[in-house]
Amino acid sequence: MRQPERELKKVSEIQTDFAEGFSIQDHKGYKTLTITNPWPGAEKEFTYALVEKGTVVEFQSQFDAIVEVPLKSIVVTSTTHIPSLEALGVSDKLVGFPNLDYISSEKTRNRIDNAEITELGKNESINAEVLIDLSPSAVVTFAVEGDNKTVATIERTGIPVLYNADWTETTPLGKAEWIKFFGVLFNKEATADSIFNHIKTEYIAARKIAQNAKETPTVLSGAMYKDVWYLPQGDSWAARFIQDANANYLWSDTKGTGSISLHIESVLEKGQKADYWIGPGQFTSLSQMKEHSKVYAQFEAFQQNNVFSFTTKKGATGGVVYYELAPNRPDLVLKDMIKIFHPELLQDYELYFFSKLD
């Protein structure tokens, strides 16, 4: 972020309960949106001034972008942004997206089919010429590291670029709270707050129900890729769901928020007798798994048909629904987990994201 020319007087801060990657301040006549953790290990923050039409902000050089709100149009670059736009009732403002096939939502796919959303190529190299023709009020992007040439190219056109780092949050409710990021861009703060409070209430209630379980099953996760088994680390978003569903993730003691790579021998030793297997990669059936590697059939969860995947439910063009919607609806993910591990606790609930592999 650019060095401030003088300290801004903060009037009030819009509260975030779980998200750690952004903050919103309400100043006199405008708001500021600060991205405090734009990517893992980032050493800088980004602060954007959000102004109403006709508002003049002093000391503009201290901001990374000046954005007029409410946005009249927007380009986003991650499918996780789509559900927030839809929930806030502003999905009609979306005018462009890189690789439209990844989008699963039927509502947004209808707009794509009606040529209301423009294809922008790949996220790493957005078609700048097409983007300039669209002239959106803002582009919302993400970065896995600081060196993003596409962002610099877009900024030179005068189109504001904002980083969204929902994916860096490690708690389910932390990710979901990023709806407030979009709420402030469209002057929909109250709506965003209401939506998030509903999700939070449902999540906490489900977590409480899970505590009534009489048993704590053991859980295995992940699958092999080129003879290396990848599974979630113990502090990760995925591991937290298993914990909150009152199950014992066998690698919960590993440190980190990403994934860990292991040799098959160590996974087999620790996870062979696991009661359940969650998220076995892209496989859509047990026979497909066994065909890929006979070692999968050695796990008791496989033998007992207790393998559950979230990759079987896809949009019309192949996008996985879970990747798009799950970060926004952790309450549904948690209920799925509880239904899988403790079916007696949610007898009338039907799985939303997950399917048992046949």
Q: What are the residue ranges spanned by the domains of the chain?
A: 12-199, 211-356
CATH for 12-199? 3.40.50.1980
Q: Side chain identity at 50, as an amino acid letter?
A: L
With contact defined as beta carbons under 8 Å apart, do 152 and 125 qualify? no
Q: Is the pLDDT of residue 6 over 60?
A: no
d(CA 20, CA 123): 25
- Say whether the peptide bond before residue 70 is cis (omega within 30 degrees of 0): yes
Which residue has 């952790």 as its token pair?
330
DSSP secondary structure, 242-297, as one string? HHHTT-EETTTTS--SSEEEE-HHHHHHHHTT-SEEE--TT--SHHHHHHH-GGGG
Domains 12-199 and 211-356 share a fold: yes
Q: Is the pLDDT of residue 124 over 80?
A: no
Helix (H) or strand (E) holding 46: strand 46-51
> Mind spelling out the 3-state secondary structure of 299-324?
CHHHHCCCEEECCCCECCCCCEHHHH
User: pLDDT tens digits, residue range 302-353?
Assistant: 999 999 999 999 999 999 999 999 999 999 999 999 999 999 999 999 999 9
Which residue has 């009152």 as its token pair?
246
Q: What is the mean pLDDT of residues 193-197?
A: 97
Q: Which of 244, 232, 239 is nearest to 335 (CA)?
A: 244
Tell me the pLDDT band of 32, cut-offs 50, 70 and 90.
very high
Q: What CATH number matches the domain at 211-356, 3.40.640.10, 3.40.50.1980, 3.40.50.300, 3.40.1350.10?
A: 3.40.50.1980
Predicted pLDDT at 153: 84
Apex CA 122: angle with CA 179 and CA 311, to 5°? 60
Predicted pLDDT at 11: 64
Instruction: Give me the chain's average pLDDT, please.
Output: 93
Residues 6 or more apart whose CB falls under 8 angstroms from that of 80 comprise: 166, 167, 175, 323, 324, 327, 328
Predicted pLDDT at 8: 47
Q: Is the pLDDT of residue 257 over 80?
A: yes
Q: Side chain identity at 20, as an amino acid letter?
A: E
Tell me the pLDDT band of 60, cut-offs 50, 70 and 90.
confident
Q: Is the pLDDT of residue 5 over 70?
A: no
